[in-house]
Structure 1
Amino acid sequence: MNRPQIAVAAGGFAAFVNIYALQALLPGLCQVFSAPRHHVSLTVTATTLAVALASPFAGRLAAAWERRTLVAGSLLGLVLTTLLAASAKSLPELIVWRFAEGLFLPALVASLMAFVAENWQGAALSRTMCNYVTWTVIGGFLGRFVAGWAGAHFGWRAALGATALLNAVSGAVLLMNLPRREAAPLLQGGHSLSYFLRQGPFQAAFVSGFNVLFSLVAMFTYITFRLSEPPFALSADTLGCIFCVYLVGIVVTPLAGRLMARWGFRKALLGASSFAILGALLTLSGTLSTVILGLTLSCCAAFVGQAGTSGYVGQRGGPERTTVLGLYLCFYYLGGSAGAALPGLLWPWGGWAACVGLIVLLQMVSLFLVRFRFSD
């Protein structure tokens, strides 16, 4: 890998290493704070909601500021707020600091996506986006795995401290390899955000991005509750091992990049939604091996969906790609927030089956939109 590709990889790792790290610890946090599931799940929802709210502004910042300066500030904010979250004395305080974490993330992600879209085109763009997603997979896995292991042996505070360290190291690698890019001149006559919201292909990409992260977060936030109860009754460190299914994405995502370059974004996204539906249905099984197979398919579908939607938006956005990517990230992380919160409201009535039904419904919406509103 050359230095720009190393920067993309380190950035993908840094962006996802701590945002969902608490998923493996949610059952334990319920006991620590004597709080119900839907309250504790706000430690995940708060972060993704903050990312969604800040993303439209981050797109503008990524265009207007010098890139390395913006990325360095974002990384510093992520590390500090993670350490402050580890010092929280109550659940509301933990949620506040987790929200603060999310405010710093969009500038990092928007800068990286703009960097990719500016420096690679066509098939090379598809491959580079898949490199980025592969390292988000690795970061997401290690964050959850390390947090699960550290939480089981040393407590949840140590788990957050460990993810802050991973964030700092990956951030240093990113900054050492990311080339400077001076602030771009302000684009005259640019379109408003409402213009992009009215475009059919962008509508399909935004909603599909929402559904991608909704499905992934809902799946891996609430499966921990199901697997921690009979008949599975898995411990916290074993639940952390469940996230090993993410590692399949290291193989699948680069392969998907080659197929995407050959077949186009549309066919790749249709396939991703189909596998997401199949994977969700398999998790209804009472057999652990079948559940893990379903989680694996769901992971692969999400990673392909993420690479396809973000690559498409970056390619189609043209000179205003940072603005469009910021809007895309808003929808993407709103999906993550909804995926962490909505199933918790349905859980008392339908449990895991209600969660799966919601995922299947949204993926069917994605199939429809990509089929009829998307164009390569």
Structure 2
Amino acid sequence: MVGAYAPGYAIGSPEYRRLLLALVCAGVATFAQIYSPQGMLQLIAADLRIGAEGAALSVSAATAGLALAVLPWSFVGDRWGRRPAMMLSVVSATALALISAWAPSYELMLALRFLEGVALGGVPALAVAYLSEEVHPRARAVAAGWYVAGTTIGGLSGRMLATPVADLTSWRMGMSAVAVLAGMAAAGFVLLAPAERRFTVTTGRGSARTAVSRVVRAVRDPGQLALLGFAFLMMGGFVSVYNYLSFHLTAPPYLVPAALIGLVFLAYLGGTVASPLAGRLAAEHGRLPMMLTMMGVMVMGLLLTLTGPLLLVLLGLLVLTAGFFGAHAIASGWAGARAEGARSQATGLYNLAYYLGSSVLGWGTGLVYEAGGWTLTVLVVALAVVLSAVLVVVMLRERQ
């Protein structure tokens, strides 16, 4: 059966497994590219003779492009289908990644990174809507958790590959190596993603008006607004930690060599484990209690990074990462699940807030780091998490 009444893929079915594997590939292709400079920021700053916040713009430019593009991509997905739009997204972004790595000037590199982010916007804008439509309702939280796990694998692999390559050669070679990896993952998505069965194309004279009405419907929901605020604050704080941790660890008293900074991103494995686990626990115990639990875990990890010994700092990073991705896995799936009839727009708005937070706070916290060092940076990020918790408790407590 094909169409809106086709049964969703059940957990354990071959099509369900193919869809999850395809979304893991899409997550790798997207997040390996977008955050590949993060472990090399100190090398970029030294080579281009710019400050920490200027180097961080290589990440923020891409996430800004992605943030601005997710909502337009949701409309493209409604018109063309989620799967074809996601294919176009990952393939075009990979080409731009290779070009941006060899841009002759800092300004051109930022412009190309921005366009790369625009191209990449199709994956986070449509992935959750794609799986929400194609899998059985009972499988949505678990499937969303596995997709987020794929994004952590992508973020980890990009940073782990780029940093040692950059240390041996240059940061441009590091970014190029990641683009090749992303191309392989994009090919995996194209080959594995099952055709849509429950998608209905939105066409006709009234389609634009309908799309706008869906956006309005989403922002009128106080619960969705709470999730948008959560996404902005939590992602902004999380990216800030990873943006400036390399500066913190390569400075006294740690003096970690640049070649080993990439190993710090092994902490992303905490998110790989926590994302599907949080999805299962949310299905059993409720989304809100598990979100708050994961946010508490993130704060504990933040506080551990203020301790002296390097091993405790790295343990704190692992705990922080697990808490963040656990909370994000629940929230991103919730945004799509509560927007029946407007899933693309709801998930597009969620990702707009998510990556806008990454761009704005990820850059702005650099000014905090320059002014007050790591301690003040951690306190600002902890405040963002606390504000997120207050927001979701006040606005989502009665709307589970």
* Residue pair 1:130, 1:256 contacting (<8 A) in 2 also: yes
CA distance in 2, matches of 1:55, 1:276: 26
Query: What does residue 99 of structure 2 align with?
Result: 84
3-state DSSP class of the match of 2:33?
Answer: coil
Q: 1:72 Cα shift?
A: 2.3
CA distance in 2, matches of 1:373, 1:324: 17
CA distance in 2, matches of 1:72, 1:189: 25
C-alpha change, 1:338 and 1:228, in structure 2 (3 Å) is: same
Q: Is 1:32 the equivalent of 2:30?
A: no
* Residue pair 1:40, 1:91 contacting (<8 A) in 2 also: no
The number of residue pairs the alignment matches comes to 376
Q: Is 1:361 the equivalent of 2:383?
A: yes
Q: Is 1:196 the equivalent of 2:218?
A: yes
CA distance in 1, matches of 2:217, 2:376: 36
Q: 1:328 aligns with which of 350, 373, 394?
A: 350
C-alpha change, 1:157 and 1:348, in structure 2 (3 Å) is: closer
CA distance in 1, matches of 2:290, 2:19: 26
- More displaced stretch, 170-179 vs 105-114: 105-114
Q: 1:118 Cα shift?
A: 0.4
% same residue = 29
CA distance in 1, matches of 2:138, 2:235: 24
3-state DSSP class of the match of 1:74?
Answer: helix
* Residue pair 1:212, 1:305 contacting (<8 A) in 2 also: no
Letter in 1 for 2:147: Y
- More displaced stretch, 122-131 vs 306-315: 122-131
* 1:6-155 matched pairs, under 5 angstroms: 6-155=21-170
Unaligned runs of 5+ in 1: none
Q: Give TM-score scaled by structure 1 length.
A: 0.96
Q: Is 1:251 the equivalent of 2:251?
A: no
Query: What does residue 238 of structure 1 align with?
Result: 260
Unaligned runs of 5+ in 2: 1-13
3-state DSSP class of the match of 1:82?
Answer: helix
CA distance in 2, matches of 1:19, 1:70: 18
Q: 1:205 Cα shift?
A: 0.7
CA distance in 2, matches of 1:280, 1:198: 34
* Residue pair 1:66, 1:180 contacting (<8 A) in 2 also: no
Q: 1:218 Cα shift?
A: 0.5
CA distance in 2, matches of 1:263, 1:305: 14
Q: Give TM-score scaled by structure 2 length.
A: 0.90
Residues 31-76 of structure 1: CA deviation (Å, up to 9, x unaligned): 1011111111100110111111111211111111133432222122
- More displaced stretch, 181-190 vs 246-255: 181-190
Residues 86-108 of structure 1: CA deviation (Å, up to 9, x unaligned): 11122212211111110011112
CA distance in 2, matches of 1:156, 1:193: 40
Q: What's the RMSD between the two structures over aligned residues?
A: 1.6
Query: What does residue 185 of structure 1 align with?
Result: 202
